[in-house]
Amino acid sequence: MHTIFFENKPRIIATGTIAGPKECAGVVGKYVDKTLSDDTFGETTYEKAECKMLAYAVRKTIENANLSEKDIDLLISGDLLNQIISASFTARDFDFPFLGVYGACSTLAESMAVAAAFVNAGYHKRIIAATGSHFSSAERQYRYPLELGNTRPPQSQWTVTGAGGVLVGDGGSDVAITCATLGKVVDFGITDVNNMGAAMAPAACDTILNHLRDTGRSVDYYDLIITGDLGALGSRIVKDLTWEKGVDMQKNHVDCGEIVYDVIEREFQGGSGAGCSAVVFGSYIMDGLKKRKLNRVLLCATGALLSTVSSGQGESIPCITHAVAIENI
């Protein structure tokens, strides 16, 4: 059994989002709380800008819930940078406990699952799950210095510049986290750091199939099965993989990376990064849930668990996907 069922149905009280100008030029832009005029956010480095975005997302989440910082019991957060510095440096600005997690781009679903478990058990009343990413900080950590101006291969994705927070609590909303399926590490043998969609798709397939098996649900149970950042190529691959296992997701699957940008062809395979699912879910998807245009959503955040060291040594890319079921009740 890979799935945890939350009998007390922890609620999503509020979300807060911020994103760069490129991200907000697309369909999700009008739902984002704050659009940056440029990707520096008034800071001297991209890493500082990423940290500032994450702090904004946390504060905006609290503000959107009409609460104050003293009402928050815990922050669960992580990011893509070494030693999750964006999350840790953000946490030092707040006077509530911090639990740092790392799941690469699966961090949003991972932190939401942990938050829901704590709230469901009665340990805490209100927990913020948050994450973010920045194109420029991720690019120079995982790939190449920006100054080199390297040509991007067609299978590559564009790391989303943005951050999002999700406030999970014991009441105050009709949007609930009803269960969570924890993923296992799946390695498909991909070594190309510019082909994250192909690397992560098998992990997404594994978690989705385990979720459906554990819950006894069909794909039609959900209005939307949304993956985190497989991009256009990875989205096609995961639909092919699940179809081979007898599960047809053609009608109700979409990937956050596919929809975050205005015209996907301009950004190759679309968006990626921890901020991809955080921004899209916290703005566009949550708006649909609140307005009951969507009533049952399975959020499957996908993560590639690689490092610059492992890639430099020729290791393949192990990946993971965590899923949370979000329903109007």
The full set of domain ranges for the chain reads 3-169, 175-328
Domain 3-169 shares a fold with domain 175-328: yes
Give the pLDDT score at 156: 76
The SS3 call for residue 227 is strand
The SS3 call for residue 223 is coil
Distance CA 268, CA 229 (A): 13
Distance CA 59, CA 150 (A): 36
- The residues, any chain, with a CB within 8 Å of residue 253's CB and separated by 6 or more, are 219, 224, 225, 226, 227, 235, 238, 239
> Once rounded to an integer, what is the mean pLDDT over residues 67-78?
98
Give the pLDDT score at 271: 87
> Once rounded to an integer, what is the mean pLDDT over residues 89-113?
97
Structure tokens at 194: 């510019």
Structure tokens at 130: 């948050």
For residue 207, count CB atoms less than 10 angstroms from its CB and return exposed for 0-12, middle for 13-18, buried for 19 or more: buried
User: Considering only CA atoms, which of 297, 304, 268 is closest in space to residue 280?
Assistant: 297
Q: What percent of the chain has pLDDT over 70?
A: 94
* Statement: the pTM of the whole predicted model exceeds 0.75: yes
| Residue type at 68 in one-letter notation | S
* Lowest-confidence pick of 98-102, 215-219, 264-268, 272-276: 264-268
Q: Are 16 and 163 in contact (CB under 8 A)?
A: no
Q: CATH top-level class for 175-328? A: alpha beta
* Lowest-confidence pick of 93-97, 144-148, 225-229: 144-148
Q: Which helix (H) or strand (E) holds 129?
A: strand 126-133
Distance CA 227, CA 234 (A): 10
Give the pLDDT score at 270: 84
User: Considering only CA atoms, which of 67, 56, 57 is closest in space to residue 15?
Assistant: 57
> Which CATH code for domain 3-169?
3.40.47.40
Q: Tokens 């781009």 map to which residue?
A: 105
Phi then psi for residue 69, to 5 deg, are -60, -30
Q: Are 205 and 199 in contact (CB under 8 A)?
A: no
**pLDDT tens digit sequence for 257-282:** 999 986 554 556 788 999 999 999 99
Residues linked to residue 319 through DSSP beta bridges, in sequence order: 186, 304
**Is 142's pLDDT higher than 80?**
no
User: Considering only CA atoms, which of 274, 238, 41 is closest in space to residue 157?
Assistant: 274
**Is 124's pLDDT higher than 80?**
yes
Distance CA 197, CA 257 (A): 10
**Is 149's pLDDT higher than 90?**
no
| Residue type at 295 in one-letter notation | N
Distance CA 81, CA 291 (A): 35
**Is 198's pLDDT higher than 90?**
yes
